[in-house]
Structure 1
Amino acid sequence: MNQRVIKILVLILIVSMFGFFGYSLVTKGKSTDVGDKAYNFELPKYEGGTSKLSDYKGKVVIINYFASWCEPCKEEFPELASYQKDYGDKYPFLMINRGETIDRIKKATKNNKEGMNYLFDYNAKVSKMYNVTGQPETFVIDKQGIIREHFNGPVTEMQLYNWAKKYDK
Structure 2
Amino acid sequence: MKKILSIPILLGIFFSVFLIGNVVAEEKEGLEIGNKAPDFEVTTLKGEEIQLSDLEGKPVMLNFWATWCPPCRTEMPDMQKFQENHDVTVLAVNLTDTEANKESVNQFVEQFGLTFQVGLDSDGSVAKTYRINPIPTTFMIDSKGEISHKTFGAMKYETMVEELEKMN
TM-score by length of 1: 0.74
Determine the structure 1 residue equivalent to 2:79. Answer: 80
Residue 111 of structure 1, CA deviation: 6.3
Offset of residue 42 of structure 1: 0.7
Residue-by-residue CA offset, 1:95-118 (whole Å, 9 max, x unaligned): 111123431111122266331210
Instruction: Mark the runs of 5 or more structure 2 residues left unpaired by the alignment.
Output: 1-28
Matches within 5 A, 1:7-156: 32-87=31-86, 90-98=87-95, 99=97, 100=99, 101-110=101-110, 113-156=113-156
* Aligned residues: CA RMSD: 1.8
Once the two structures are overlaid, the 10-residue window that deviates more, 106-115 or 138-147, is 106-115
Q: Given that residues 33 and 130 in structure 1 are in contact (C-alpha distance below 8 angstroms), is that contact kept between their aligned partners in structure 2?
A: no
Letter of the 1:106 counterpart: N
Contact 1:31 1:131 survives alignment (8 Å): no
The runs of 5 or more residues in structure 1 that have no matched partner are: 1-29
Q: Output the CA distance in 2 between the equivalents of 1:113 and 1:148.
A: 28
User: What is the distance in 2 between the residues matched to 1:161 and 1:137?
Assistant: 17
Bigger drift between 109-118 and 34-43 goes to: 109-118
Alignment size in residue pairs: 137
Distance in 1, matches of 2:62 and 2:133, equals: 14
Kindly indicate which of the two structures has a greater share of residues assigned to helix. 2
CA distance in 1, matches of 2:165, 2:60: 11
SS where residue 109 of structure 1 aligns? helix
Contact 2:43–2:49 (8 Å) recurs in 1: yes
Q: Percent identity?
A: 27
Shift of 1:34: 2.4
> Contact 1:60–1:143 (CA<8 Å) still a contact in 2?
yes
Deviations 1:25-67 (A, max 9, x none): xxxxx95332221111110011112111111112111111111
Does the C-alpha gap of structure 1 residues 44 and 111 become closer, same or farther in structure 2, counting only changes over 3 Å? Answer: farther
Q: Distance in 2 between matches of 1:165 and 1:82?
A: 16
TM-score if structure 2 supplies the norm length?
Answer: 0.74
Correspondence for 2:10: none
